[in-house]
Amino acid sequence: GKGGHAHYMHKEIFEQPAVVGATLHSMINPATRRIDLGRYGFDAAGLETVTILACGTSFHAGMVAKYWLESIAGLPVHCEIASEFRYRRPPLGRGALVIAISQSGETADTLAAMRYAKSRGARTVAVVNVAESTIAREADAVLPTLAGAEIGVASTKAFTTQLVVLACLAIAFGRARGELDCKAERALVAALADTPDLITEALAGDAHAGGVAALLAGARDVLYLGRGTAYPLALEGALKLKEVSYVHAEGYAAGEMKHGPIALVDKEVPIVMIAPPDELFEKTASNMYEVMARGGQAILISDREQTDRFANGVAASIAMPEAPAISTPILYSVPMQLLAYHAGTRRGTEVDQPRNLAKSVTVE
């Protein structure tokens, strides 16, 4: 059942502290407080490049992972939409690791792309939520997300648990490649370990997000902007809104604004700025000024200090708990989900089963 929630999507959003915690604990050795992927038959020896293959929301998780694998493990990463990759016939050397990310483990394009990679001699690892799935069976190794069954067609808890697994993988590779010492690893693990509590805090903003969602529910078009790991979150926020509310939305890298999308800005277009208070914040804030100067309705998602600072200029804001950098993409997924959910319910859509969508896309 829905456990007191009006929809499965809402229930699954609220399961995240538990399932993110469970997934995290499955990757951490409690004695050493370090990442332990040994039991998953996984070995980083001889690794030269990583290619990530996925579709939809799982692809967005892969895009976040690219930032982590590059910055934490020093690995060159390609992140590819499976339906494009499979027909390009790209070369893959023996030092290539292919990571297939899929909630269902049955997505036709992701499976075909992974099979192609295997046929070229690449090692494959699957990050899947359904342990008995085809992708899990055919991959050389499996890193399970422990999200439990996801019923809502819009992926929520599967996404955040994918991020957890991928963050742990980046840390494990960082250590194996000598990019992280023991102390640095433990600091990242400790930071990740706080994520479930931070998600609980973010979920306390549910009713407030419901109010902010009114701005989106009444819009014809919505833009989502972010930089760094907030860029894939912008794509994910826009996808979620499209799926469950049928409001047209696009995600952009904030730096791309002036290369086109700024032409859309007027007082009718809400712009969701995903701007965690990191070293990129001021750059994103200057994009926000540009939006506001053109009458755009900025919705700022940042920490309390920044949302207070911009309180007078923005149309609305969502104040997030302070968080270490590595948990930010996981944490900032929550307002993306809540905004989409509430925009959908305000518009009276079938949020758990949006029109034209299937939970598992087994045809290309």
Contact residues toward ligand M6R (CB under 6 A) are 55-58, 102-104, 107, 110, 153-155, 243, 357, 360-361
Report in angstroms how near the CB of residue 346 gets to ligand M6R at its nearest. 19
C-beta of residue 229 within 8 angstroms of C-beta of residue 191? no
In DSSP terms, 319 is beta-bridged to 302
CB nearer to ligand M6R: give 62 or 277: 62
CB neighbours of 43 closer than 8 A, spacing ≥ 6? Answer: none
CB nearer to ligand M6R: give 56 or 276: 56
Report in angstroms how near the CB of residue 55 gets to ligand M6R at its nearest. 4
**Does residue 53 sit in helix, strand or coil?**
strand
Closest CA to 146 of 64, 26, 36, 58: 26
CB nearer to ligand M6R: give 55 or 79: 55
Annotated catalytic residue within 2, 183, 283, 359: 359
C-alpha–C-alpha distance, residues 30 and 127, integer Å: 22
Strands 34-35 and 28-29: antiparallel
Report in angstroms how near the CB of residue 87 gets to ligand M6R at its nearest. 18
Report in angstroms how near the CB of residue 240 gets to ligand M6R at its nearest. 6
C-alpha–C-alpha distance, residues 270 and 224, integer Å: 9
Residue 166 Cα to chain centre, angstroms: 10
C-alpha–C-alpha distance, residues 357 and 68, integer Å: 31
Closest CA to 209 of 84, 299, 88, 311: 299
Answer yes or no: 359 catalytic: yes
Residue nearest to ligand M6R (CB): 56
Report in angstroms how near the CB of residue 310 gets to ligand M6R at its nearest. 30
CB nearer to ligand M6R: give 26 or 337: 337
CB nearer to ligand M6R: give 56 or 237: 56
C-alpha–C-alpha distance, residues 60 and 239, integer Å: 10
Active site residues: 359
